Structure formats: structure tokens, C-alpha cells
Structure 1
């Protein structure tokens, strides 16, 4: 069932099994606020098992671009898609959030971003990345990194 993320009243709905559920909910709310403010889009998530094709697309990009296989189970998927962009978020039980920004126009921005919830360790599969810190009123300290997508997906 779809869940419209509320960034004023942060909830752990759908994320309860995460050991850092409160921080992950704050991270999800932080993304929801961004999409509302920048694009006037309501950030809506669905359980990962209801978005298998989208999750498979993200998994394939990670594998083909960098040989990354995420160990943690996916909990939720969001696909806000501002005009001209396929933008997918996957929230994992470990507290990891991955977003794939894939502009539909040739030669534009295409990247994969990683964000770590406050309180979680860097997953082994992402240990090669350097993470920058960012403060968020909703999510505490967010650590983030990214890589540029080189191929067509």
C-alpha cells in the first residue's frame, strides 16, 4: 500500500524492522521535504515487494556499473519522477538509502547516490566510497556518497 511521507510528523511506517528506524524515517522525511520544496511532488513510497521491476532496475545498475550487491533487504521504494528524470529511491533495513537519478535526455546527469542513516555503520559493500557528512533537522547526521552512471540503463 502506498505511503505519502509526511516530513512534519515523521513516522517509521514501513521501516519498523530497521535497527535505526527513527533515523531512517528522518532520512526518508528529509528526501520528502526536498521533493515537496523543489518540485511540489508528494514523496510516496511502496513496500519493496510491490515494486519488483523498479528494485531490479536499481540492483542491475549497481551490479553492472560497480559490481555492488547490497546485503540488506530492501524495505521501500519511491519513484517521484520530476519531469524528464527517472528518479528512484530504495530504503534498506540497514538504514541505507540509495537513489538513482537518471535523466531521460542523452548526455545529462545520471548518478547513484548513497545515504547512510545516523547510527549505522558503512556497509562492507560500500567500504570503497568516501562519505561526506551533512546535518539535517529531520535526520541528524547524514553521510552521503555517489558515483556517476556511465552506461545506458
Structure 2
């Protein structure tokens, strides 16, 4: 069952088990607003259990940097807009991970990490990445980092 994310009325539906559910819901709504403003695309999430293949795809890419996310994945999303495939995973600890994959050969390919307001940096990311801060009306303070994907997936 998929849920269209409303960025005007932030809801914790699907994220209730997270200790930072309101902040994670704000982060999810922030992503929905980005896609609507930039592409007029609706951001829809689904339970992570419905798409183990998407989780395998993300984990294969993370293995490039020896990153293993221990938190439980709650929701996933996949969008294809303007020749770019975006794959999102929202984790129980408050982490939002996205894979940007330009479909054209030689395009941009990267993994982004965003930490919900109030969550600690996961151990798997603490020593490998530096996080920049960004303010959001929907999500409070977002800390983010990324890495460029080198392999083909």
C-alpha cells in the first residue's frame, strides 16, 4: 500500500515506531516538497518490506564504502523524473538515505544521507562522513552528507 506524502500537513503514518517520528516525518515531507517544487512530481512511499529488491540495491551500493546501516528500514520510495532515478529509504533511527542515479551514461550518481533533527550520527557513518547543517521549516535542522558512486549497479 503506497502513501502520497503531504508536505502541507506533516503526518507520522508509517514512521510511528521511530523514536524521532515527528522529525523523520518532517524530513520525509521536506523531500516531498522538493520533488513537487522542482518537478511537479508526487512523492509516494511504501512499506520497506514490500520492496526487498530496492533495499538490496541500496545495500549493494553502500557496500562500495563498507557502510552497513543497522537500523530497521520503515519506508521506501522510488521516482524517475527528468532522466534521474531516485531511490529513498527511511530508517527507524531517523536516517533518510537516497540514491540519485542519472540514467544517461556518465551522469551524476551519488548516495545522500540526511539525519533527522535530534538523532545521533549512526556509528556506520560517524567516522566516514562529515555532515553539513541545513534549516528546514518542515524538518528543523537537517544534517546531511553524501558520496559519489563509482561502480555500476
Please say whether Structure 1 and Structure 2 have the same fold, judged by a TM-score greater than 0.5.
Answer: yes
Q: Which residue of 2 aligns with 1:39?
A: 39
Query: Counterpart of 1:79 in 2: which secondary structure?
Result: strand
Match of 2:27 in 1: 27
- Cα distance, 1:81 vs. partner? 1.5
- Separation of aligned partners in 1, 2:149 and 2:135: 26
In structure 1, the residue matched to 2:3 is 3
- Report the alpha carbon displacement of residue 52 of structure 1 after superposing the two structures with TM: 1.1
RMSD of aligned C-alpha atoms? 0.6
The whole-number CA distance in structure 2 between the counterparts of 1:38 and 1:102 is 17
1:4-153 to structure 2, matched below 5 A, reads 4-63=4-63, 65-127=64-126, 128-153=128-153
CA–CA distance in structure 2, aligned partners of residues 55 and 36 of structure 1: 24
Unaligned runs of 5+ in 2: none
More displaced 10-residue stretch of structure 1: 6-15 or 47-56: 47-56
Deviation for aligned residue 1:141: 0.0
Return the TM-score normalized by structure 2. 0.98
* CA displacement at 1:32 relative to structure 2: 0.1
Using the size of structure 1 for normalisation, the TM-score is: 0.98
Query: Once the two structures are superposed, what CA deviation does each residue of 1:53-76 show, in whole Å capped at 9, x if it has no partner?
Result: 11110011101x101110001000
CA distance in 1, matches of 2:49, 2:2: 12
Secondary structure in structure 2 of the residue aligned to 1:80: strand
CA shift for structure 1 position 106: 1.1
Residue 83 of structure 1 and its aligned partner are, at CA, apart by 3.1
Count residues in correspondence: 152
Give the ranges of 4+ consecutive aligned residues of structure 1 lying more than 3 Å apart after TM superposition: none
